[in-house]
Amino acid sequence: MDTEPDDSTEADAKGRPASLREDEVERALDQIVERGRPRLFRSVAELLASGTIAGVEIALGVLAFLAVEQATGSKLLAGLAFSIGFVILLLGNSELFTEGFLVPIAVVVAKEATYLRLVRFWALTLLGNLIGAWVGMWAIVTAFPALDPIAVTNGKTYATATLGLSTFLLSVLAGVAMTLLTRMRSGTDNDVAKVLASIAVAFLVAGLSMYHSVLDTLFIFGGIHAGGPYGYGDWIVFFGWTVLGNMVGGIGVTTMLRLVRSHERLREWRATDAPGPHASNT
pLDDT single digits (tens) 222-251:
999 999 999 999 999 999 999 999 999 999
Q: Are 229 and 154 in contact (CB under 8 A)?
A: no
Whether 20 has a pLDDT exceeding 50, the answer reads no
What pLDDT is recorded for position 18? 53
3-state helix, strand, coil in the chain (%, to 5): 75, 0, 25
What pLDDT is recorded for position 133? 97
Give the confidence band of 277 by pLDDT, cuts at 50, 70, 90: very low
* d(C-alpha 232, C-alpha 210), whole Å: 21
For the chain, the first-to-last Cα distance in angstroms comes to 57
Angle at 82 between CA 78 and CA 83, to 5 degrees: 125
* d(C-alpha 194, C-alpha 159), whole Å: 32
What pLDDT is recorded for position 268? 83
Going from the C-alpha of 98 to that of each of 6, 170, 242, the distances in angstroms are 45, 14, 11
The amino acid that residue 202 corresponds to is A
Going from the C-alpha of 253 to that of each of 10, 175, 177, the distances in angstroms are 31, 9, 11
What pLDDT is recorded for position 27? 77
Q: What is the mean pLDDT of residues 49-60?
A: 95
Q: Are 49 and 24 in contact (CB under 8 A)?
A: no
Task: Return the minimum-mean-pLDDT range out of 20-34, 146-160, 177-191.
Answer: 20-34
Whether 29 has a pLDDT exceeding 90, the answer reads no
Give the confidence band of 273 by pLDDT, cuts at 50, 70, 90: low
Question: How many Cβ atoms are within 10 Å of 227's Cβ, its own excluded?
Answer: 10
For the chain, the domain total comes to 1
Let me know if residue 147 belongs to a domain. Answer: yes
Q: Are 205 and 48 in contact (CB under 8 A)?
A: no
Let me know if residue 13 belongs to a domain. Answer: no
Let me know if residue 278 belongs to a domain. Answer: no
Give just the sign of the alpha carbon dihedral 211, 217, 222, 224. Answer: positive
Enclosing domain of residue 67: 22-269
Tell me the CATH number at 85: 1.20.1080.10
22 DSSP 8-state letter: -
Let me know if residue 280 belongs to a domain. Answer: no
Let me know if residue 153 belongs to a domain. Answer: yes
Question: How many Cβ atoms are within 10 Å of 2's Cβ, its own excluded?
Answer: 4
What pLDDT is recorded for position 153? 97
Backbone angles phi, psi at 185, to 5 degrees: -65, -35
Give the confidence band of 125 by pLDDT, cuts at 50, 70, 90: very high
| 3-state helix/strand/coil string of 139-183 | HHHHHCHHHHHHHHHHHHHHHCCCCCHHHHHHHHHHHHHHHHHHH
Let me know if residue 83 belongs to a domain. Answer: yes
What pLDDT is recorded for position 95? 83
Q: What is the mean pLDDT of residues 174-200?
A: 89
Give the confidence band of 1 by pLDDT, cuts at 50, 70, 90: very low
- Average pLDDT for the chain: 87
Whether 74 has a pLDDT exceeding 90, the answer reads yes
Q: What is the mean pLDDT of residues 170-196?
A: 90
Q: What is the mean pLDDT of residues 117-136?
A: 96
Let me know if residue 86 belongs to a domain. Answer: yes
Give the confidence band of 196 by pLDDT, cuts at 50, 70, 90: very high
